[in-house]
Amino acid sequence: MSTQSQEKELAAKAAVQFITNHQIVGLGTGSTAYYAIMEIGRLVRNGMNIKAIPTSKHTQRLAMEQGIPLVEIAALSAIDLTIDGADEFTAEGLLIKGGGGALLHEKIIASLSKTNIIIADSSKRVDKLGQFRVPIEVIPMACGMVLNKLRALAGRGTLRQTNGTTFCTDEGNYILDVDFGLIDDPCALAQELDGLVGVVEHGLFLNTTTTILMGQGDSVLRFDRQKK
């Protein structure tokens, strides 16, 4: 296993220790969240009693394979704890997410969660967000219009493609991956993006994180931030 994978697994296993019996647990999406789902599956098979809510169809399939009991989001007013990955994070708890295209569900689940634990390997830590392009989920017919508007915000976007076809989210929307350079004021940018017609959601997660657990070599570093 590579060092990066080891760091992901270490962070994931450390996060799973925060789960207690009878909790509703949000399950993130991506290669780091994968390790958390595997560990939760193991604990459930050993008798842990929780219900989980997945952040994507992919995670839903994984959780079902692991025998993790699932609950519908419509049945919930709050989620106790969510464990999810990130594409970039700062020690202050600012994130870029959506590299896997699940940002909309992830943001909904994060906003419902009393505690959000982000798990990552050490390559994800940055001083300033923006090296990773910001994923923006858009209504397909509004793509061209949104790309033009983003240019006015100094954002250079490309429509996400996978294996030669346009990537579609679980909701049937498209993703624009947008380069804003290093982002001096993520809150101001998030406000601009929130105001763009045709944008469904964006990958700037600025006030949801409670704690970040980052694998580094053989250890796990913890960064805490209070949810506003």
Binding residues for substrate: 29-32, 84-87, 97-100, 124
Q: Which of 26, 41, 54, 101 binds ligand R5P (CB under 6 A)?
A: 101
* 116 lies in the binding site for ligand R5P (CB under 6 A): no
Q: How far is the CB of 55 from ligand R5P (least distance, A)?
A: 8
106 has catalytic annotation: yes
| C-alpha angle 38-41-45 in degrees, rounded to nearest 5 | 145
Long-range own/partner contacts, residues 143-150 (CB < 8 A, 24 or more apart)? 143/174, 143/176, 143/198, 145/197, 145/198, 146/176, 146/196, 146/198, 146/199, 147/176, 149/196, 150/176, 150/178, 150/196
Cα(220)–Cα(64) distance, integer angstroms: 28
Q: Which of 26, 41, 93, 99 binds ligand R5P (CB under 6 A)?
A: 99
* 32 lies in the binding site for ligand R5P (CB under 6 A): yes
- Best CA proximity match to 215, nearest among 7, 4, 3: 7
* 54 lies in the binding site for ligand R5P (CB under 6 A): no
Q: How far is the CB of 49 from ligand R5P (least distance, A)?
A: 26
Nearer Cβ to ligand R5P, position 122 or 145? 122
* 100 lies in the binding site for ligand R5P (CB under 6 A): yes
Encoded tokens for 96: 């870029």
Cα(39)–Cα(33) distance, integer angstroms: 10
Q: How far is the CB of 68 from ligand R5P (least distance, A)?
A: 18
Q: Where on the chain is the footprint of ligand R5P (CB under 6 A)?
A: 28-33, 84-87, 97-103, 106
